[in-house]
Amino acid sequence: MEYYAHSKNESGVRHLLADHLRAVAELTAEFAKPLGAEQAGYYLGLWHDIGKFDPEWQRYLLDCEARPERKGHGPDHKFAGARLAMDAELPPIALLIAGHHGGLRTRVDMDTGLREKGALPGATAARGLAEEVLAELVPSQAPTFPALRDSLSAEFFMRFLYSALVDADSLDTEGHGSPDRSALRGSRVSLADLWRRFEGNQKAMLERAHETPVNAVRREVYEACVQAAPGGPGTYSLSVPTGGGKTRAGMGFALRHALENGQKRVIVAVPYLSITEQTVDEYRKIFEDEGGPDPVVLEHHSAVRPGGDDEDFRPTETWRRLAAENWDAPIVVTTTVQLFESLFANRRTPTRKLHRLANSVVILDEAQALPVGLLTPILDALKQLGTHGTTTVISTATQPAFSALPVFSGVGVTEIVPRSERYFETLKRVDYDWRDGPLTWEQTAELMMRSSQALAVVNTRKDALALLDALGDEDALYLSTHLCGAHRRNVIAEIRRRLRDEEACRLVSTQVIEAGVDLDFPLVLRAMAPLDSIIQAAGRCNREGLLTDLEGNPTRGQVIVFVPVDGGLPPSGSYKTGTGRTAAMQAEGGLDPNSPASVRTYFERLYDVVVTDSKKVQEARVAMNYPETARRFRMIDEDTEAVVITEYGTADEQWDVVRALNRLRTGDRSARLLVRQLQPYMVSVRRNQAEAFRRQGLIASVMEGLGEWTGKYDPACGIARGGGAVMVV
C-alpha cells in the first residue's frame, strides 16, 4: 500500500510519505550541521510526519482532493512523532515535532497533547506502519546534542533546530506542489563573485573621489576593514563618525570576512525603514545594476511593497518574495525589529529563517537605537549566535557601552578600525552651543529665523505644533509620525529640493527626522534629549562638511541644544532617564558629543539606572515558555491602532486606498496583502487617543486593529490637527 504526505500536484502526482520524510530528514540534518546537531536534525525530520501513516489521516487526504473545504480539519498527525521521540527519551525533539505546524509551545502544552492525542489508536497504528515502511526509523544509537551552557543556551538552540525543521518541511512540500516556483529559490551568485563586484566598484569610486579630508578618512576606514577581515568569527565593533563611509566599509569587511571563514551570507539590520531603503539602493547599485541579471540583495521588512498581479511573470520579484520566507539569499537587508522579533517568536512563519543566521555575518547598524528595555535579551541573543559560527558587527558613530552590562561583559569585542577616535576629530563638522536658560517657543523661533535654512527637533508632537505656530512662517515644513508615510516621503523630497536649490527651508520635526534621514542643514536646534538623540540630530547639520564662510573658507555647522520652557517628553521611561543623564553630564562640564569616550561614559551611566529587561523576557526564556517569550518581546509599542488616510495623494491613489479598505471590510482573502499595500497611508495612534477620536466620529472601523480616518487631514500637519482635535503627545 502507498502512503502519501500531500495530495496531487499540478501534474496529478501525490507526494509519497516515505519520500517526504527522508527528504526532510536530509535537509534538516544539513541545516542543523552548523548547530552541531546533524544527527538530531535527521531524526527530527524523519519523525515529524509519521502520524500521517494513520489510515484515518490517509482517508482524510484523499477526501480533501474531492472536497477541498475539508482541508485543515483532519486528524492530528503531530503527536505520533512526538510520542516516538518521548519513548526514545528525546523530549526536545518531541517538543519541536509537536509544534511544527502550530508553533513552539510549552512542555505542559506538549504533555497535554501527548495524553490526549499521542496515545490514540490512530497514533499507535501510524507508528507501527512507519516501522514497516522505514527501516531506519529507530536509530541504533540515540542522537546526541551539543553541550549547552545553561537553560538560555538550550532555549536558543531549540529555536534554531525548530527553524531547520520547518524550513526543510516547507521546502520539500513546495518542491512537490510547486516545482517551478521551487526552482527559483537560492542564488547562483557566490560570495566570491560579490566580493569581486564590490572590490571593483569600491576601487572605481575611490579613484574618482577628490582628495579631501573626508575622502581620506573614508579610504583609511575601508582599508582598515579589509585588513581586519581575516580575523575569526566573533563580535566586532565598527566605530566610524558620520560621513566616514561605514555603510560601504562595513560591507567590505563582512564580505571579505565571510569568504575567509566560510560563512554563508551577510545580513544587515538597521533600526529605521528610511535607512533600510537607502542601504538597499546603495547595495543594489553595487551588486545588481553592474553585476548581472540575477538578484542577490533581499530587502525584508514590514513595509516592502508587495508585487502586483503579474508577480509570477517577473522572476526577480518572485525570487525576492520566496527569499523573504527563509532568507536564502547572499545579502539580506532587514530591520532590527524584523530580526529580533523573529529571533524571539514562536510561530512557524517568522522562525523559519532563523537557521540562516548561523554561520553568517550580521551587521547591526546604528546599534545605539536598540531599545534599552530589551537590551539584555537582545545581547544574550547576539552572544548565543556567536556559538553557532555567526559574526556580529556593531556599527555606529555612537558606540553604546554594551560590555558594561553583565549579560555582555564576557564577550570580547574587537574594534575593526584601530584608534578610530582620531577620525571623530578629523571629521568634526559641528560646534555645539548649549543654552544656559530655558527658552520659550518664541525665542526658539527667533533663533531659527537667523538662518534661511534651519532644522528644529523637539520631543513631542505637541511641542512641534507649538514651535510651528510660534515660527509663523507659512512656508515652514513639519514632520511627525502623524503624517502618513507617503506624506512624510513627499515632505522630505521637498526639503531636499529646497536645500539643493539653496531656497529658504525651515523645518520643525519630532524625533522622526533622526531616523536615518540624510538631510543637511547649516543650523540645527535640538530640545534637550538623550545624548544619542542629540548626536543623531547633529548628523543632519553640515553632514557633508561643505559649509563655508563668506570668504569661502571651510566652517562648521551650529547645533544649539536648549531646554524648552513648556517642553514635554515621550512616555518612555528610558528616554526621560537618558535626557536627565545628558543634562547632568552637561552641567558637570564633562560632556563632549564629538568624543567616543564621553559617549561611552553616558551609556555607562544610563545603564546603571535603567532596567534592561523591563518585560522579563529572560524569565520566560528560562522557563522554556515560547509563547510567553514572544508576547513579552515586542520592539514596537502595541498600544497603538493604525488608521488609514483616504484624503492624501493623487485622485488615483486615493481611489486605490478606498477600494482596498472596501475589500478589507468584506473579508477579502487577500487581507494581508491589502494591509501591506495600505501601509504608506497609515498613521499609528495611541489606543486611548483612538478611542477619543472614535467617540468624536473621526475613526470608522475597518477590521480589528485597523480604522479609517474620517476627520480632516491637514495638508501640513496630517491628523495632528484633524477634526478639531490636537494630538497631545
Q: Quickly list DSSP for 86-112.
A: HHTT-HHHHHHHHTTTT----HHHHHH
DSSP 475: T
The per-residue pLDDT for 146 is 87
In angstroms, rounded to a whole number, what is the distance separating the alpha carbons of residues 613 and 109? 26
The pLDDT-based confidence of 729 (bands split at 50, 70, 90) is: very low
Cell triple for residue 713? 487631514
Average pLDDT over residues 2-11: 91
In angstroms, rounded to a whole number, what is the distance separating the alpha carbons of residues 113 and 132? 25
The per-residue pLDDT for 309 is 43
In angstroms, rounded to a whole number, what is the distance separating the alpha carbons of residues 528 and 580? 9
Alpha-helical segments (H) within 285-438: 315-326, 336-343, 348-351, 375-386, 421-426
Calculate the CA dihedral of residues 401, 372, 431, 364 and round it to 10 degrees.
Answer: 70
HSE toward the beta carbon, residue 690, CA cutoff 13 A:
20
Strand pairing class (640-645; 682-686): antiparallel
Q: Could you tell me how many residues make up the chain?
A: 729
User: Closest by alpha carbon to 564, among 431, 455, 448, 466?
Assistant: 466
- Give, in order, the Cα–Cα distances in Å from 555 to each of 240, 244, 549: 21, 18, 6
Q: Quickly list DSSP for 189-215.
A: --HHHHHHHHHHHHHHHHHHS---HHH
* pLDDT greater than 80 at residue 381: yes
The per-residue pLDDT for 290 is 59
The per-residue pLDDT for 726 is 37
The pLDDT-based confidence of 274 (bands split at 50, 70, 90) is: confident
- Number of Cβ within 10 Å of residue 155's Cβ equals 23
User: Closest by alpha carbon to 21, among 147, 183, 113, 131?
Assistant: 131
* pLDDT greater than 50 at residue 520: yes
* pLDDT greater than 60 at residue 627: yes
Cell triple for residue 558? 551650529
Average pLDDT over residues 704-727: 78
Average pLDDT over residues 557-575: 91
Kindly report the average pLDDT of the chain as a whole number: 91
Contacts of 70 (CB under 8 A, 6+ apart): 60, 63, 64
* pLDDT greater than 60 at residue 291: no
In CATH terms, the fold of domain 4-178 is: Hypothetical protein af1432 (1.10.3210)
Cα 375 to its chain centre, rounded Å, is 15
Which residue's C-alpha cell is 473545504?
Answer: 69
Helix (H, G, I), strand (E, B) or coil at 488: helix
Cell triple for residue 241? 563618525
Tell me how far apart the 2 most distant CA atoms of the chain are, in Å. 91
- pLDDT higher for 72 or 428? 428
Query: Which of 39-43, 136-140, 700-704 has the largest mean confidence?
Result: 39-43
- Give kind and range of the element (H or E) at residue 413: strand 413-415
Buried b (16+ CB within 10 A) or exposed e, 539-574: bbbbbebebeeeeeeebbbbbbbbebeebbbbeeeb
- pLDDT higher for 681 or 515? 681
Amino acid at 400: P
The per-residue pLDDT for 639 is 74
In angstroms, rounded to a whole number, what is the distance separating the alpha carbons of residues 20 and 22? 6
* pLDDT greater than 60 at residue 722: no
In angstroms, rounded to a whole number, what is the distance separating the alpha carbons of residues 22 and 46? 6
Provide the terminal-to-terminal Cα distance of the chain, rounded to the nearest Å: 68
- pLDDT higher for 394 or 544? 394
Task: List, edge to edge, every strand of the sheet that includes 699-703.
Answer: 682-686, 640-645, 706-709, 699-703
* pLDDT greater than 80 at residue 293: no
The per-residue pLDDT for 305 is 56
- pLDDT tens-digit readout, 75-84: 889 999 999 9
Average pLDDT over residues 21-36: 96
The per-residue pLDDT for 272 is 83
Average pLDDT over residues 385-406: 95
Note whether 80 and 51 are within 8 A (CB).
yes
- Give kind and range of the element (H or E) at residue 266: strand 266-270
* pLDDT greater than 60 at residue 261: yes
Contacts of 285 (CB under 8 A, 6+ apart): none
The per-residue pLDDT for 310 is 41
In angstroms, rounded to a whole number, what is the distance separating the alpha carbons of residues 388 and 371? 24
- Give, in order, the Cα–Cα distances in Å from 592 to each of 541, 575, 595, 611: 16, 19, 5, 25
In angstroms, rounded to a whole number, what is the distance separating the alpha carbons of residues 196 and 79? 50
* pLDDT greater than 80 at residue 91: yes
* pLDDT greater than 50 at residue 308: no
Rounded to 5, what percent of the chain is helix, strand, coil?
A: 50, 15, 35
Average pLDDT over residues 530-548: 90
In angstroms, rounded to a whole number, what is the distance separating the alpha carbons of residues 291 and 313? 22
Strand pairing class (453-457; 505-509): parallel
Q: Where in the chain is the domain with CATH 1.10.3210.30?
A: 4-178
- Number of Cβ within 10 Å of residue 701's Cβ equals 10
- 291 sits in the region (left: phi over 0; alpha: psi -120 to 50; else beta) called alpha
- pLDDT higher for 51 or 180? 51
Q: Model pTM?
A: 0.91
DSSP 118: I
Contacts of 159 (CB under 8 A, 6+ apart): 104, 343, 351, 354, 626
In angstroms, rounded to a whole number, what is the distance separating the alpha carbons of residues 514 and 333? 20
Which numeric CATH code is attached to 429-593? 3.40.50.300
Range with lowest mean pLDDT among 67-81, 307-321, 350-364: 307-321
The per-residue pLDDT for 169 is 97
The fourth-level CATH superfamily of domain 191-424 is P-loop containing nucleotide triphosphate hydrolases (3.40.50.300)
- pLDDT tens-digit readout, 318-350: 888 899 999 999 999 999 999 999 999 999 999
The per-residue pLDDT for 727 is 36
Average pLDDT over residues 420-434: 92
Say what angle helices 79-87 and 121-133 make with each other, to 10 degrees. 70
- 243 sits in the region (left: phi over 0; alpha: psi -120 to 50; else beta) called left
* pLDDT greater than 90 at residue 483: yes
Which residue's C-alpha cell is 539569499?
Answer: 329
Average pLDDT over residues 662-691: 89
Buried b (16+ CB within 10 A) or exposed e, 424-450: beebebbebebeeeebebeebbebbee
* pLDDT greater than 60 at residue 306: no
Alpha-helical segments (H) within 589-718: 596-609, 617-622, 626-632, 651-665, 671-678, 687-695
How many degrees, rounded to 5, is the angle at CA 550 between CA 548 and CA 553?
Answer: 40
The per-residue pLDDT for 725 is 38
User: In this structure, which long-range contacts are made by residues 136-142, counting pairs with CB atoms below 8 Å and at least 24 apart in sequence?
Assistant: 136/46, 137/46, 137/47, 137/50, 137/84, 138/88, 139/39, 139/43, 139/88, 142/88, 142/89, 142/90
* pLDDT greater than 70 at residue 281: yes
The per-residue pLDDT for 682 is 94
Q: Where in the chain is the domain with CATH 3.40.50.300?
A: 191-424, 429-593
**Residues forming beta bridges with residue 333, ordered by sequence position:** 268, 299
